[in-house]
Amino acid sequence: MKEKLFTRNFTLLLVGQASSLLGNNTLKFALSMFVLEETGSATVFATILALAMAPTILLSPLGGILADRANRKSIMVALDSLSGLAVLMACLLLSLGDRVLVVGALLVALSILGAFESPTVQACVPQMLSGERLLQGNAAVSQIQAAASLVTPFLGSVLYTALGIQPIFLGAVACFFLTALLECFLQLDYRRPSRQAGVGAALRKDLSESMEFLIRQEPGICKLLLLAALVSLFVSGAMVVGFPYLVRTVLDLSAALYGIAESALGVAAVLGGVCVGLLGERLRLGRLAGVFSGFGLCLLPCGLAFLLPLGALGRYGVLLVFFCICQAGCSVFSTCAISAIQARTPERLMGKVMSFVFTLSLCAQPLGQLLYGVLFDTFSQAPWCVLLPTGLAVWAAGMLSRRFFRRLERQWERPGPAQNPPPKGRGF
């Protein structure tokens, strides 16, 4: 009899994540519009995004250690409760001081909390599911994230335009507290460690054990993540900073059109997750090089649109179509890669390894955001000067990575050291 996918635990986790993402993403979307309207600068906007992401990158390894040593249920309840309190405090302070400074401080606080929560949630999925259900479970989590990306931009733009920023703060507070309440009903096995070493000794031991696994036992994981970080340097900057700046500032289009575009990106991400769920056993690791190359190819028409006499709405349409294709590819790649890594990671190392995955996947994003903030400000009258070279660089990286992905696919066909058996077939 096949293992059930939507168990009570997994369903509670999904509903809780949906609530948290609904509040968090709606708030962050509204805050991005708020900051752009307050400053009008891509550089300032990108700097705030990058500074807010830094704590997540620096603290995620500690979050992974905590996820493997403490009660994961208690961690998630505490972190979502603290997130709700942080948003509530920022809401109260917004009218008392520098509003951009308050927003930046809130984003940093949420980043710190996210550094501990993301590895914990990622470690919970293989604890709840195994075998062929693991890939499907990760696809379901990805679809929840994508669905939130679909709903929240439209919701954020409508609420922000109609009501302002304060009601969105209060809605996010309610979502975080609801998530914490749902997580109270999770049932996760937890065994308290028999021996408690000093904090410093425990950190050194856990970090050493994780690095031993990643560098010597499974070096392919590190190489895969470093390659992904290199491409993320370009793609994240072009999408996260460039897309809102191009739509709102360069093309001077309305917040409603920007919200529609972000919702369309959410649809694309959902479709990417659906494809993984339907074709997961037929997707192979060697084909991900083509996905990488596709990211670059999607950026080339976006750059050409600013060389052709298309007008603002025509350029908006080109950006929308090709960024959506890129977003679907991101969903496919990340879901497949994370599932394969989880399948080859022992349960005792799951939190720590997933924290390194999370950290390495994010480490290039602040640099990319800062770089592209400056580039888009500098070439605001000629965005093609940014988009075309980026597209060519990413396409070249994908083409050069084909041999690496094929070799890694052959290596990962053999059973790994993980306690979680890989999905049937090749796992991709």
Over the Cα atoms of the chain, what is R_g? 21
Burial label, 417 (beta-carbon count in 10 A; 0-12, 13-18, 19+): exposed
The span from the CA of 262 to the CA of 257, in Å, is: 9
Q: Over range 111-128, report the average pLDDT.
A: 80
Q: Over range 294-301, report the average pLDDT.
A: 88
Q: Over range 288-300, report the average pLDDT.
A: 84
The span from the CA of 294 to the CA of 337, in Å, is: 17
Of residues 92 and 215, more confidence is placed in: 92
**Mean pLDDT of all residues belonging to the chain:** 78
Q: Over range 58-68, report the average pLDDT.
A: 74
> What is the pLDDT, as a whole number, of residue 307?
92
> What is the pLDDT, as a whole number, of residue 314?
92
> What is the pLDDT, as a whole number, of residue 418?
47
> What is the pLDDT, as a whole number, of residue 280?
57
> Is the pLDDT score of 100 beyond 60?
yes
Q: Over range 195-217, report the average pLDDT.
A: 69
Give the highest mean pLDDT range of 77-91, 215-229, 251-265.
77-91
- % of the chain beyond a pLDDT of 90: 11
The span from the CA of 152 to the CA of 175, in Å, is: 13
Q: Over range 256-270, report the average pLDDT.
A: 78
> What is the pLDDT, as a whole number, of residue 188?
79
Grade residue 95 by pLDDT with cuts at 50, 70 and 90: confident
> What is the pLDDT, as a whole number, of residue 89?
92
Grade residue 149 by pLDDT with cuts at 50, 70 and 90: low
Grade residue 83 by pLDDT with cuts at 50, 70 and 90: very high
Give the highest mean pLDDT range of 88-97, 155-164, 169-178, 248-257.
169-178
pLDDT in tens, 16-50: 988 998 988 888 888 877 887 777 776 777 777 77
Q: Over range 347-355, report the average pLDDT.
A: 71
Supply φ then ψ for residue 197, to 5 degrees. -80, 170
> What is the pLDDT, as a whole number, of residue 174?
94
> What is the pLDDT, as a whole number, of residue 196?
54
Number of C-beta neighbours around residue 36 at 10 A: 19
Q: Over range 382-397, report the average pLDDT.
A: 88
Alpha carbon 339 to its chain's center:
15
- % of the chain beyond a pLDDT of 70: 85
> Is the pLDDT score of 409 beyond 70?
yes
Of residues 384 and 342, more confidence is placed in: 384
Q: Over range 175-204, report the average pLDDT.
A: 75
> Is the pLDDT score of 318 beyond 90?
yes
> What is the pLDDT, as a whole number, of residue 415?
52
